[in-house]
């Protein structure tokens, strides 16, 4: 097929520069499997409706199946001269089986064809990303089990705030990613409608069975409006928005791993398998994988912005601008899926230092709220209790002590409600265990949260133990 293949309207070939500029096969050949799948569903329906002879339809299907096998084996030669994946496949088909190949495109446009391909691809990609999130969740659940005894400071404003369990913090990461998983599957469900049969924009005069092709391709139903069917790309925006949200969560987790692995924190030592050294400083062990997870987030956010800006000024229905939707979509999925896999390995193989975490608790006045709550439980207005304890923190800090080292005499001088049992309130383990409300860091609550997560994963067919073993989880807390 030549560069002037689109009928008799044109008297000269497309300019070479224009051809190179408009060709998209280097990107959209990734849709080859979806393109063949949609074409087979289409031609089967054409045969069933008597629009294309059955013999021709069978030849077309056999030819498409053979082409798909070649593509999967890396033996198919794509060419820019045929512009995109759709014409590469159709033109090759026609070369091989003759005029019957030209009947494949009956009652179909590249507009509804590419919209169908992209929905098939994106639906599967959402499900794949959800499965990748499940792997992270399985590792987080396993680490939450093994680190249940480890206490650490919880932070606000990056300042030590209150004592929590490390497992509680890991499960907070799981909650974030669990919502991302839900958003991916929500997007997959909402896009599960078939554009096929909408043709260029106004449907077709052929007596198609759009319900049949929709169901053959696993869609819930045909799209209700032919204009919308070929013009809509908000299903891509929604999926990439979910990916961008996930990438931001991954970045926040990566940032905490970077901070925790610094000598200033010393809460975690990343595995050698997920760190690198310095080209000049032999002592360095850099958390590069966590940093790259953080850094790649900008790409995914950029992919979302690219889609939104591309769409914002487009009239209905199809416009060639939409050719530019594929690169950001593919990049966003690839980047997030790679980041999820790397994060799974980072968390699975990290060695948490429980002693260092407990030392940080002791040094950071993370028990101050316990003193304020102690007074409040004895009828002291909380604001007054807050003021009293603030003054005690200032005194302890000036004397280079922790609160539990202040004498009862000093405490009573600050407020008469203090008594000998106040020192029990300053025990970190007891402080955490008193926070036994739903969602709290007490051991029973954290254990319940962990087992709920494991149960949800098992219900989805995810073997938490198998995933943890595959990614190298070991009991490494100390």
Radius of gyration of the chain measured on its C-alpha atoms: 30
- Residue for token digits 């922790």? 402
Catalytic annotation present for 397: no
**Distance linking the first and last C-alpha atoms of the chain:** 68
| Token duo for residue 251 | 């970045």
> 34-64 burial string, b = 16+ CB within 10 Å, else e?
bbbbbbbbbbbbbbeeebbeeebbebbbebb
Q: Count how many Cα atoms sit within 13 Å of the Cα of residue 378 in the half-sphere of its side chain.
A: 15
Per DSSP, what are the bridge partners of residue 194? 222
Q: Count how many Cα atoms sit within 13 Å of the Cα of residue 398 in the half-sphere of its side chain.
A: 6
Q: Where are the beta strands (DSSP E) in 113-216?
A: 151-156, 159-165, 193-194
| Active-site residue (options: 157, 251, 261, 262) | 157
Per DSSP, what are the bridge partners of residue 352? 268
| Token duo for residue 54 | 């059955």
Catalytic annotation present for 39: no
Q: How many helices (DSSP H) and strands (DSSP E) are in the chain?
A: 20, 6
Cα–Cα distance, 184 to 240 (Å, whole number): 9
| Active-site residue (options: 262, 278, 397, 448) | 278
Residue 184: CB atoms within 10 Å:
27
CA dihedral 2, 7, 8, 12 (to 10 degrees): -30
For the stretch 326-330, contacts whose Cβ atoms lie closer than 8 Å and that sit 24 or more positions apart, written own/partner, are 326/24, 326/27, 326/28, 326/30, 326/31, 326/118, 327/27, 328/240, 328/302, 328/303, 328/304, 329/118, 329/121, 329/122, 329/125, 329/236, 329/239, 329/240, 329/303, 330/27, 330/30
- Residue for token digits 């959800």? 130
Cα–Cα distance, 252 to 275 (Å, whole number): 18
**CB 302, CB 313: distance < 8 Å:** no
Active-site residues: which are they?
157, 278
């Amino acid at each position: 097929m030549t560069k002037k293949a689109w009928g008799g309207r044109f008297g000269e070939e497309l300019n070479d520069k224009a051809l190179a500029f408009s060709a998209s096969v280097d990107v959209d050949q990734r849709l080859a499997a979806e393109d063949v799948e949609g074409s087979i569903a289409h031609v089967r329906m054409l045969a069933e409706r008597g629009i294309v002879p059955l013999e021709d339809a069978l030849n077309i299907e056999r030819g498409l199946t053979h082409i798909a096998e070649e593509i999967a084996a890396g033996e198919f030669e794509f060419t820019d001269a045929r512009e995109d994946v759709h014409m590469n496949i159709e033109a090759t088909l026609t070369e091989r089986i003759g005029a019957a190949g030209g009947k494949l495109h009956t009652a179909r446009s590249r507009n509804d064809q590419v919209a169908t391909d992209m929905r098939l691809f994106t639906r599967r990609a959402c499900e794949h990303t959800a499965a990748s999130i499940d792997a992270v969740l399985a590792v987080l659940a396993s680490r939450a089990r093994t680190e249940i005894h480890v206490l650490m400071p919880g932070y606000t404003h990056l300042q030590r705030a209150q004592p929590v369990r490390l497992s509680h913090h890991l499960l907070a990461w799981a909650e974030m990613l669990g919502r991302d998983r839900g958003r991916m599957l929500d997007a997959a469900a909402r896009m599960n409608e078939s554009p096929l049969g909408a043709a260029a924009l106004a449907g077709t005069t052929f007596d198609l069975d759009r319900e049949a092709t929709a169901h053959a391709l696993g869609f819930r139903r045909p799209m209700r409006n032919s204009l919308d069917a070929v013009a809509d790309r908000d299903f891509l925006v929604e999926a990439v928005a979910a990916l961008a949200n996930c990438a931001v969560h991954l970045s926040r987790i990566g940032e905490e791993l970077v901070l925790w692995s610094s000598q200033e924190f010393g809460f975690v030592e990343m595995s050698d398998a997920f760190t690198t050294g310095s080209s000049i400083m032999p002592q360095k062990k850099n958390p590069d994988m966590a940093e790259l997870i953080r850094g790649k987030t900008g790409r995914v956010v950029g992919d979302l912005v690219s889609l939104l800006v591309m769409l914002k000024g487009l009239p209905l229905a199809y416009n060639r601008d939409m050719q530019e939707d594929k690169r950001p979509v593919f990049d966003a999925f690839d980047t997030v899926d790679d980041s999820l896999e790397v994060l799974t390995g980072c968390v699975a193989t990290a060695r948490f230092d429980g002693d260092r975490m407990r030392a940080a608790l002791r040094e950071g006045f993370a028990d101050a709220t316990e003193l304020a709550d102690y007074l409040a439980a004895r009828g002291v207005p909380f604001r007054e209790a807050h003021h009293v304890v603030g003054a005690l923190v200032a005194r302890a800090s000036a004397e280079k002590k922790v609160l539990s080292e202040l004498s009862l005499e000093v405490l009573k001088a600050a407020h008469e409600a203090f008594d000998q049992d106040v020192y029990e309130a300053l025990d970190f383990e007891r402080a955490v265990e008193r926070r036994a409300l739903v969602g709290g860091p007490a051991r029973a609550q954290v254990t319940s949260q962990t087992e709920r997560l494991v149960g949800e994963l098992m219900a989805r067919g995810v073997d938490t133990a198998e995933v943890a073993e595959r990614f190298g989880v070991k009991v490494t807390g100390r």
